[in-house]
Structure 1
Amino acid sequence: MGPVVNEPHRRAPRPRTYNARRRQEAAEESRMRVLATSRELFLAGGYGRTTIAAIARAAGVSNESVYKGFGGKPGLVRAIYEQSLLGAGGPPAEERSDRAQATITDPRELMEQFGRLISEVSPIGAPVYLLIREAAASGDPDMAALLRDVDDGRYRRMLHNARHVLGRGFLREGLTENEVADVMFMSTSAELYETLVLKRGWSAERYGRFMARTLAANLLPDPIL
């Protein structure tokens, strides 16, 4: 029997590094691409005529991934609308609104900030709201339910704002929180944006200044002359 020859020690193969962060980033990039593509196609072609297959193809993803991520067309529209409420960038618009309500000491300056936020969010959110309204009017039950949810959510937000601003002591004496919320609800409506900007051609900036004056005229005490 010949001598035993020891084989060179073989290192166990290192496990492949699993880059969870990169995977999450890629998933978020894909999600944002699907949302951007969906928004473009829905607003161009309407809710009924736009298909998941067309969205997936344009976004470079599979149909299954769209269904898995959003649950179909109603979920996509809801996600697009909720995304629009964040504003045009930076901290979410609601967060900036809350900060302004907590820190601004001049009531008219606060109304101006509300107007600026309205002019920022409305061009993004109003077209999606109008898409939902049109689909609901066509008889789509999912869009009718979404329209109710969107309106209810926006009113709850305006009631939150009303309570906060009333608590600061900024507003005209005798106003109730529901009266204040109603004025704010009207001022953030897609229908008003549709009338003045989409139909009459106002700029978003002019619209925001008008809404700031409207809020001030209806909510703040009359200036002392």
Structure 2
Amino acid sequence: MPATSKSTAPQASGPGAAAADPALPKANRRVAQAADTRAHIVATAGRLFDANGYVRTTIESVAAEAGVALQTVYNSVGNKAALLSAVLDAAASGPGARQVLELMQERTRNAPDRGALMVVLADWFVEVHQRTGRIMTVISQAAAVDPDVAALEQHRALQRLERYHEAAAAVRERGGLTSGMTDGEAAAAIWSLGHPQTFRALVGSAGWTVEAYRDWILRALTAALA
């Protein structure tokens, strides 16, 4: 990675970039401009990863396509693995750009009973896998050639497992897990059933429709967490 230099990131241009509001205080305008620049770089990287794959997508090509200096990419996002991680975050968050953890906590709180919570989980897996499927494939392929991406893939898998402890606790609060399953075991069941590779195998390789996958995972989660 090039040494960090003190430079001002140019205002992002292109899809998804917005001009900073001149009515904002100067410091806030700089923050807004930096956020727009970062979002523009991440969106550009996502398109290049999708079109060219991980190996052929370089930091230099991202910078050139985004119309920013090379150092701006490093300053705004980080190295190539960090770009991939940011693209995954953006894909998982979706158009509203809400943090996934915050979004799922809200949906979980609003589920009135165990059946509704199973629907929340099933619908989420359908939603997130369709948005992140392509970038997850890039990550899986890149992990074989880049140790940083392999570490990223492992970290994200363990992060998902940890976060599903909250879902398991919510199931228990709504009368589930009566078989004696612990919250940790329930989190592992949610994690394995909703794993991105399972979605890719069933929908991408086995030819299942998304609707068939959704029906299956709803039944599987309900049976596993009863």
Q: TM-score, normalised by structure 2?
A: 0.80
Residue 160 of structure 1 is matched in structure 2 by 166
- Paired residue for 2:155? 149
- Residue 197 of structure 2: which of 176, 191, 199 is its match? 191
- 1:186-225 alignment, distance < 5 Å: 186-220=192-226
- 1:115 aligns to what? 122
Q: Which residue does 1:3 correspond to in 2? A: none
Q: How does 1:98-137 map to 2 (within 5 A)?
A: 98-137=105-144
In structure 2, the gaps of 5 or more residues are 1-23
Question: Which whole-Å CA distance do the structure 2 matches of 1:165 and 1:120 have between them?
Answer: 20
Structure 1 pair 208–89 and aligned structure 2 pair: CA distance change class (3 A): farther
> Whole-Å Cα distance in 1 between the matches of residues 172 and 97 of structure 2?
27
| Offset of residue 88 of structure 1 | 4.2
Deviation at 1:73, TM superposition (A): 0.3
* In structure 2, distance between residues paired with 1:148 and 1:98: 23
Is 1:38–1:76's contact at 8 Å kept on the other side of the alignment?
Answer: yes
Shift of 1:91: 4.1
Tell me whether 1:73 sits opposite 2:80 in the alignment.
yes
Q: CA 1:91–1:203 in 2, change beyond 3 Å: closer, same or farther?
A: farther
The one-letter amino acid of 1:100's match is R
- Residue identity in the other structure for 1:22: R
| Aligned residues of 1:112 and 1:209 also touching (Cα < 8 A) | no
Alpha-carbon spacing, 1:91–1:82, altered in 2? closer, same or farther (3 Å): closer
CA gap 1:202/1:57 in 2 versus in 1, 3 angstroms: farther
63 and 91 in structure 1: CA distance in 2 versus 1, 3 angstrom threshold:
closer
Q: C-alpha distance in 2, partners of 1:63/1:192? A: 37
Contact 2:117 2:171 in 1 (8 A): no
- 2:85 and 2:168 map into 1 onto residues whose CA distance is 25
- How large is the RMSD of aligned CA atoms in angstroms? 2.2
The number of residue pairs the alignment matches comes to 203
Give the secondary structure class of the aligned counterpart of 1:47: helix
For 1:59, give the aligned amino acid. A
Aligned residues with identical type, % of pairs:
32
Asked whether the equivalents of residues 93 and 117 of structure 1 are also in contact (C-alpha less than 8 Å), the reply is: no
Q: Report the Cα distance in structure 2 between the residues aligned to 1:63 and 1:69, rounded to whole angstroms.
A: 10
For residue 67 of structure 1, what is the amino acid of its counterpart? Y
- Determine if contact 2:111/2:117 at 8 Å carries over to the other structure: yes
For structure 1, the residue ranges without an aligned partner over 5 or more in a row are 1-16, 221-225
Q: Larger C-alpha radius of gyration, 1 or 2? A: 1
